[in-house]
Copies of this chain bind each other. A is one copy, B any other.
Amino acid sequence: MPQQKSVNALLASSHLFAPLTEDQRAALADICHIVPRFRGEVIFVEGEEAAGLHIVVKGKVKISRIAPDGREAVLHVFGAGELFGEVAVFQGSRFPATAECVEAGASLFLPRREFLLNIERDPALAFSLLAAMSLRLRAFAAKVESLTLKGIPQRLAAYFLLALREREAQGGEKRGELRLDISKALLAGVLGTARETLSRCLGRMAEQGILSVDGRKVRILDRGFLEDLAKGAKNL
């Protein structure tokens, strides 16, 4: 299998499997396939029987729940290195949500049975998964909190601040400059609101000199204000 070597490298680059030994990763690489994904592709739908779990290699995947009337609640947007569809592997066997590719790329697929065998053999893998799911639970807790007691401007401010901190940690972009990695429509979904509301909110922020927007480029002009907003100390 000529591609297995690169799969092994992909696994190593995901912090999920970084703590494993070379041999352990090789064992995983043996059981997984790489699948190209195009934009708009539905990877699985809520209620479907789960054959295994997935890891994003490149591109972005949206996880959401869709109501009978068509409106959707975005649960996550995952990028390279993140796993999804794992819940059904450990509990219930059916996916609790729908996964759709929103930016073309590729993903790895790990079949359920073989993956479970690997966990059984290897406590380090189990710990990695427990940590990954704990992180997911933290993210959900934050999301429920913000949906329950924060308004849209506050959620948006929190989103920008988080994005800024991430960029700074990776020494990325210029100071105060920020490139959105998802469309505004999707961002609205992530914040749990409608496109129109997000648009208006950005408009008001620009009006007040907190930031300026040009397409996907956002320049933060008054970070302190954003921080006060996120805390609830100020309002628009």
Interface on A for B, CB 8 Å cutoff? Answer: 65, 67-69, 71-75, 86-92, 96-97, 119-120, 123, 126-127, 129-131, 133-138, 140-145, 147-150, 192, 231-233
Contacts of A145 in B (CB 8 A): 65, 67, 73, 75
Once A65-B141, A73-B145, A149-B71 are accepted as A-B contacts, the answer to whether A126 and B130 lie under 8 Å apart by CB is yes
Cα of A205 to Cα of B145 in the assembled complex, Å = 28
CA distance A58 to B43 in the complex (A): 42
Whether the Cβ atoms of B126 and A96 lie closer than 8 Å is no
Contact A134–B71 (Cβ < 8 Å): no
Which residues of chain B are near A140, meaning CB under 8 Å? 137, 140-141, 143-144
Closest to A189 in B: B148
Are the CB atoms of B231 and A68 closer together than 8 Å?
Answer: yes
Q: Are B133 and A137 in touch, CB under 8 angstroms?
A: yes
A137 partner, pick from B127, B136, B142, B233, beta carbons under 8 A:
B136
Interface centre among A65, A137, A143 (most CB of B within 10 A): A137
Q: Return A141 CB to nearest CB of chain B, in Å.
A: 5
Residues in B whose Cβ lies below 8 Å from that of A86? 134
A199 to chain B, nearest CB (A): 18
B149 to A147, Cβ gap below 8 A? no
Report B-chain residues with C-beta under 8 Å of the C-beta of A68. Answer: 231-233
Taking CB atoms, residues of chain B closer than 8 Å to A71 are 149
25 example contacts (A-B, Cβ-Cβ < 8 A) are as follows A65-B142, A68-B231, A73-B144, A74-B148, A75-B145, A86-B134, A87-B138, A88-B134, A90-B130, A90-B133, A91-B130, A91-B138, A92-B138, A119-B127, A123-B123, A126-B126, A130-B130, A133-B137, A137-B140, A140-B140, A140-B141, A144-B144, A144-B147, A144-B192, A148-B192
Asked whether, in the complex, the Cβ of B137 is within 8 Å of the Cβ of A137, the reply is yes
Closest to A137 in B: B87
Contact of A147 among B127, B135, B147, B233 (CB under 8 A): B147
Contact, CB under 8 Å: A130 / B129: yes
**How far, in angstroms, from A68 to B233 measured CA to CA in the complex?**
9
CB distance from A53 to the nearest CB of B (A): 11
Contacts of A144 in B (CB 8 A): 65, 73, 75, 140, 143-144, 147, 192
